[in-house]
Amino acid sequence: MRRFHIFARRIVLAGAILSLLLVGYAYLKKRPQDLPWTRLDLSQPVGMFTGRKIAALGQSPDQCRALLDRAGVAYTAIPPTGSGQCRYGDAVRLKGDKDAVAWSPASVAPSCPVVAALKLWEWHVVQPAAQRHLGQPVGAISHFGSFSCRRLYGRSEGDFSEHATADAIDIAAFTLEDGRRISVVNDWTGADKDAAAFLRSVRDGACGLFSTVLSPDYNSAHRDHLHFDQADRGAFGWRACR
């Protein structure tokens, strides 16, 4: 019992030290978004806990939509749809905006936490990476959809996919301002090194915003798309970036 108490005290002490280090870092760098207990603000750059805070919004649809409103994101809230394991109640569809990336098909309506992460991804990851690697912005992003009532990998049994609750989206390609198309299936390992570098940059940048990011580097099932989802695994739950 005495050993247990010593161990518990050490855990508490370690947690306190870690908290102080985080506070010191955030204060010195003037980055409150790097603290786990500060409020999420979509106008701020991506912080160490941004992705976890966004995933937690799945429990607070009204709060999530309020964040989109404050950030000036134009959207349409979708009525609750489905039943049982295949149901969503917080999906939103982005409205066309001349200053925003277009989505193809435009009818996609992921859950609000996915949309919040997608907007930050667009602002802080996709467009900077496009300018850095390709010298021009992205005009449109093509996808394979969000909501799909199915289990993981389309199996007949086992856990349901995050797609079953619209908490995921599969990204297939990017169309640049000049009309050039960069696709995962053709350019991940293609001859164009700049295009390949761009795709890896947007994959890596998504890892700080989504609970799960899977690419062709993960397995052959993802050879033609990047899978992003917002599975809520808690403030310190595991996250996947492959």
- Cβ-contact 171, 184 below 8 angstroms: yes
Residues 59, 52: Cα–Cα separation, whole Å: 12
Judged against a pLDDT cut of 60, whether residue 160 lies above it is answered with yes
With cut-offs at 50, 70 and 90, classify the pLDDT of residue 151: very high
Own/partner pairs for 175-180, CB < 8 Å, 24+ apart? 175/104, 175/138, 175/139, 175/140, 175/141, 175/142, 176/130, 176/134, 176/136, 176/137, 176/138, 176/139, 177/136, 177/137, 177/138, 177/139, 178/136, 180/134
| Res. 2: pLDDT tops 90 | no
Do residues 141 and 177 lie in contact, with contact meaning Cβ atoms separated by under 8 Å? no
At residue 97, the pLDDT reads 81
State the average pLDDT over residues 200-216.
Answer: 98
Per the CB < 8 A criterion, the answer to whether 67 and 57 are in contact is yes
Once rounded to an integer, what is the mean pLDDT over residues 194-199?
A: 98
What would the mean pLDDT of 226-242 be, rounded to a whole number? Answer: 89
Mean per-residue pLDDT, 112-119? 98
Question: pLDDT tens across 99-109, in order?
Answer: 899 999 999 99
pLDDT digits (tens, 9 = 90+) for 121-149: 999 999 999 999 999 999 999 999 999 99
Give the model's confidence band at 232: pLDDT under 50 very low, under 70 low, under 90 confident, else very high: confident
Percent of the chain beyond pLDDT 90? 74
Q: Which of 7-21, 86-100, 119-133, 183-197 has the lowest mean pLDDT?
A: 7-21
Q: According to the model, what pLDDT value does residue 64 have? A: 97
pTM score of the predicted model: 0.86
pLDDT per position as a tens digit, 17-70? 655 555 554 443 467 778 888 999 999 999 999 999 999 999 899 999 999 999
pLDDT at residue 11 in the model: 63
pLDDT at position 25, please? 43
